[in-house]
Amino acid sequence: MKAMVLHSPAKAEQQPLKLEEDIQIGHPKENEVLVDVEVCGVCRTDLHVVEGDLPPVLARVIPGHEIVGIVEKMGGGVRTLAVGDRVGVPWLHHTCGRCEFCINGRENLCNNKVFTGYTVNGGYAQQVLGEEGFVFRLPENVEAKRVAPFLCAGIIGYRAFKVALPGPGGRIGFFGFGGSAHLILQFASKLGYETVAYSRNTAHLELAKKLGASEAILSKENRPNQDEAKRDLDGAIVFAPAGSVALEALSYLKKGATVAIAAIHMDTIPPIEYDKYLFGERKVVSVEANTRTDAKEFLELATRLNLDSAVTMRPLAEANEALVDLKNGRVSGAFVLDCR
């Protein structure tokens, strides 16, 4: 099969992913399914894998974890899926099921979890293996490219939303308006929340307005007059992997509100002036991965609420270029690779 393979991390501009055509994926083992990949979303986590922000685990790896495809083969013991099912294969590939976190319903914190496209091969390929229970059947009538960003950007954003959750009808801020924010802003708007998008990219702010944002605000660093932030947010989610953005989000919080950081990697947060940013029971909480419950809940709600995704399609062979454009903010919504 064809796949884009990473042999050694490097800056995306150096095109570290190589198109290879003789990759052998093997047969599905017990409780596994082999999926023919239709499309795979391009996530910022893939960029962190490719550039080495996440330390390499395998000698070579195929990135990608926002995968939509068709079940081609099944290993023994599979009961809940069938050949021909359209499925989604997300970031969380496996958890141990035995540790204190798994037992207490917090499998996203499992110390032995396995990740699609990082610790096992992922979806920048024509086929991928997934484990039953971590692969989700999708509605037959959904458009593959539309649902691909749901499988990480959507699920992780949904968990961050739950962590930052303001009271009913509250005002929630979205800092960094990429693949995840453009889905969860729609989600929050449809649930009746006031939604505010903050970005340094004016095109992203225009997309936010089209998707129903109550307000769209240029980041403070891009405004000519650095006016004092208005503390009117009941909750905030930071999607940008920049510590300075987390500090900016804190400056907009009401007392008692929470900033949820939905990033797997982030540069250094500047020194926090306690009286100015934290006092008043303001909180900063990181979000790590997701549980299968998060995934099931979000996929069901996304269908019920008719969430849409703004998608730009690229061929599989242009994965490097897609990552460079993502890195530099040259996408409104999300990139999705055609893997067929």
What per-residue confidence (pLDDT) applies to 219? 82
What per-residue confidence (pLDDT) applies to 340? 94
Nearest to 132 by CA among 98, 85, 100, 99: 85
DSSP state of 45: H
Asked if residue 273 is part of any domain, the answer here is: yes
What per-residue confidence (pLDDT) applies to 165? 87
What per-residue confidence (pLDDT) applies to 224? 52
What per-residue confidence (pLDDT) applies to 169? 85
**140 and 178 fall within a common domain:** no
Output the domain CATH number for residue 273.
3.40.50.720
**132 and 162 fall within a common domain:** no
pLDDT in tens, the chain (340 residues): 999 999 999 999 999 999 999 999 999 999 999 999 999 999 999 999 999 999 999 999 999 999 999 999 999 999 999 999 999 999 999 999 999 999 999 999 999 999 999 999 999 999 999 999 999 999 888 899 999 999 999 999 999 999 998 888 899 999 999 999 999 999 999 999 999 999 999 999 999 999 999 999 998 765 555 566 689 999 999 999 999 999 999 999 999 999 999 999 999 999 999 999 999 999 999 999 999 999 999 999 999 999 999 999 999 999 999 999 999 999 999 999 999 9
Q: How far is CA 241 from CA 198, 244, 261, 327, in A?
A: 14, 9, 9, 11
What per-residue confidence (pLDDT) applies to 226? 55
**26 and 129 fall within a common domain:** yes
* Residue 80 contacts residue 292 (beta carbons within 8 Å): no
Asked if residue 301 is part of any domain, the answer here is: no
Q: How far is CA 293 from CA 71, 134, 166, 197, 318, in A?
A: 22, 10, 21, 27, 33
**163 and 271 fall within a common domain:** yes
Tell me the whole-structure pTM to 2 decimals. Answer: 0.95
What per-residue confidence (pLDDT) applies to 267? 95
Please tell me the total count of domains within the chain: 2
**140 and 24 fall within a common domain:** yes
**163 and 195 fall within a common domain:** yes
**250 and 167 fall within a common domain:** yes
Range of the domain at 174: 154-286
> CA quadruple 317, 319, 321, 322: dihedral positive or negative?
positive
> What is the spatial distance between Cα 139 and Cα 156, in angstroms, rounded to a whole number?
20
